[in-house]
A and B are shown apart, each in its own frame.
Chain A
């Protein structure tokens, strides 16, 4: 059904316009609705959902388009976040403006991506996964320990009181007044993140349809055939790592400014895994699917967090099970169940779905029972 309506959207200009307008209005009023109906904690979750969408879209370039399994993606988020934290906090006494830091974060993360990509170009699927995973851990361990003998990252304590995002003298940390309308801080961050997310979505869509995007997909489907067709696989793969990483760097910088505090704990392997789950669960290589995955996997654990305690209270009159463990338990179950029933992701692209339906039946191993 979804595919039919989407296809009709693509052909019918008027309904497409209406749909775009509806989505636009929805996105514009979302923080006010969420803020007043559910409170500020959910508004923060909404802001984080946008950050995670940026990350998921970045990883989608590497995993979804180019088919390179990257399990250390959070390292680039960390690079962006730490760059912001070091350049705009009392830690070094530096207060570099945000429009220098965020692009610098994108560039630095992109360089880190290329540095990771270069030695791993020859590796096949799962070997690449473990090397990228190792890279992510190396970055985290360095951040955890670079407080001696020279204190650079302040070790496990992390860096605190980071400058809030501040644009042209307007700080987002305090409520903004624009033309008589007061916009609270969380809302202002929401609009900033939304703007950047839309930019990243736009770049992703344009990349997907470009010569480079098609080269990525060609490499994903068959690297040797892609090479034979004259694609410079080395450069194109490096480009995938670099582009994906730079999205992560941007999201990381925003995260540091938003949170006001970074520590190595925010960048552990579980976070990488989470972003990977967003991409795969949503529908690899399909931008709307990845966005859906990002929203779901940010909101779901928080929903369980807010409901695991009270529901037990209501049902049994007391809290029987540790709500924190229960919430992750339910989350794990949700991952398994979704994948069992929708192995190609929640919202896969039409091409992929078609492929999956007439998958290679010749392989007896895959016949299952």
Chain B
């Protein structure tokens, strides 16, 4: 039973990180119908910037370095996200559907290799920012860092929900995703809204990047790829284009993955080991999509009439 709760806790931590990244994918998809393939690399850049700011400010107290690192990472990521949209996606809004997918892949390759040029191809150890104190919950342990990750992720998700549901900007975003031409007739500046979407998504990605590298205490120029893939899977699992779906999908995926890694050996009598962890995400995804082709809480959109 302890192992079960332990895996749930680990899954919750991992899942809240996935959820933050998935939100970035789903927001962009909801508004533009585009898979922003480069989003995983934005997460990686966030992690790298945060890591190097924390290293540079070593010696200062945590409540100084952490906000500074977060601010720097978020700033850089927002700039990167804004630039990506302007350079690689905006000129292609009239283009065939797959063209922006290819530029997205191109941007992803560019960002990855820029990161390699700037930070080298080594793994970087993430300095411990919080005291590693363990807390006991139902016989399982949870570190302070994990608590902080879950709390911050929950706050960010609540904040985003408020932003989208309660503010003028949020209303404009919803209107744009509903029907861009009509939104424009109602006085919404679509270009601004799309830019804002990318900037917000990138800020979330920066936070997620800091979290994931703090959690595994490692950062690497290639880390964004698999993370982005998983997060995108999470977004699709929940129903892409749907904010609540991304959150649900992310957390579910995190929990399924860590439970799977914990129990796969027992379930298959030792035939499959925990290195099959990455397979779970995809099996669950395929299973869900066979029965619910638009994701768990995606709207049932009729095929175009």
Q: Do A and B come from one complex?
A: yes
Would you call A205 an interface residue if the criterion is a C-beta within 8 Å of the partner chain's C-beta atoms? no
B106 partner, pick from A130, A138, A321, A336, beta carbons under 8 A: A336
* B285 touching A335, Cβ below 8 Å: no
What chain B residues lie within 8 Å of A343 (beta carbons)? 92, 94-96, 99
What chain A residues lie within 8 Å of B91 (beta carbons)? 340, 368
Q: Who on chain A is nearest to B194 by CB?
A: A365
* A359 touching B94, Cβ below 8 Å: yes
* B113 touching A339, Cβ below 8 Å: no
What chain B residues lie within 8 Å of A222 (beta carbons)? 304
Interface string of A326-369 (1 = CB under 8 A from B): 10110111111001100110000000100010010011111111
Interface string of A71-111 (1 = CB under 8 A from B): 00000000000000000000000000000000000000000
B190 partner, pick from A149, A331, A352, A365, beta carbons under 8 A: A365
| Interface-facing stretch out of A26-34, A119-127, A241-249, A311-319 | A119-127
* A369 touching B191, Cβ below 8 Å: yes
| Interface-facing stretch out of A174-182, A206-214, A273-281 | A273-281
What chain A residues lie within 8 Å of B285 (beta carbons)? 130-131, 134
* B190 touching A364, Cβ below 8 Å: yes
What chain B residues lie within 8 Å of A295 (beta carbons)? none
* A333 touching B110, Cβ below 8 Å: yes
What chain B residues lie within 8 Å of A362 (beta carbons)? 181
Would you call B123 an interface residue if the criterion is a C-beta within 8 Å of the partner chain's C-beta atoms? no
CA distance A344 to B95 in the complex (A): 7
Would you call B116 an interface residue if the criterion is a C-beta within 8 Å of the partner chain's C-beta atoms? yes
Residues in B256-295 with C-beta less than 8 Å from chain A: 270-273, 275-276, 278-279, 281-283, 285-286, 289-290, 293-295
Q: Given known contacts A224-B305, A364-B184, what 20 new A-B pairs fall within 8 Å (CB)?
A: A119-B290, A122-B293, A124-B303, A129-B35, A130-B236, A144-B275, A223-B303, A224-B303, A326-B113, A328-B113, A332-B113, A335-B102, A336-B110, A339-B92, A339-B100, A340-B88, A352-B96, A362-B181, A364-B180, A368-B91
Interface string of A180-203 (1 = CB under 8 A from B): 000000000000000000000000
In the assembled complex, the CB of A273 is this many whole angstroms from the nearest CB of chain B, namely 6
Would you call A292 an interface residue if the criterion is a C-beta within 8 Å of the partner chain's C-beta atoms? no
In the assembled complex, the CB of B229 is this many whole angstroms from the nearest CB of chain A, namely 7
Q: Who on chain B is nearest to A356 by CB?
A: B96
A/B pair count, beta carbons within 8 Å = 165
Q: What does DSSP make chain B's interface, helix, strand, loop or mixed?
A: helix
Q: Who on chain A is nearest to B92 by CB?
A: A343
What chain B residues lie within 8 Å of A2 (beta carbons)? none
* A135 touching B282, Cβ below 8 Å: yes
A329 partner, pick from B110, B121, B233, B304, beta carbons under 8 A: B110
Interface string of B72-110 (1 = CB under 8 A from A): 000000000000000110111111111111110111111
Interface residues on chain A, number (Cβ under 8 Å): 61
Q: What does DSSP make chain A's interface, helix, strand, loop or mixed?
A: helix
Q: Who on chain A is nearest to B101 by CB?
A: A280
CA distance A134 to B29 in the complex (A): 19
* B276 touching A365, Cβ below 8 Å: no
A368 partner, pick from B94, B96, B110, B301, beta carbons under 8 A: B94
CA distance A325 to B222 in the complex (A): 12
Would you call A54 an interface residue if the criterion is a C-beta within 8 Å of the partner chain's C-beta atoms? no
What chain A residues lie within 8 Å of B29 (beta carbons)? 126
Would you call B114 an interface residue if the criterion is a C-beta within 8 Å of the partner chain's C-beta atoms? yes
* A280 touching B117, Cβ below 8 Å: no
In the assembled complex, the CB of B249 is this many whole angstroms from the nearest CB of chain A, namely 11
Residues in B108-133 with C-beta less than 8 Å from chain A: 108-110, 112-114, 116-117, 121
Known: A335-B105, A344-B96. A137 touches B278 (CB 8 A): yes
CA distance A340 to B293 in the complex (A): 32
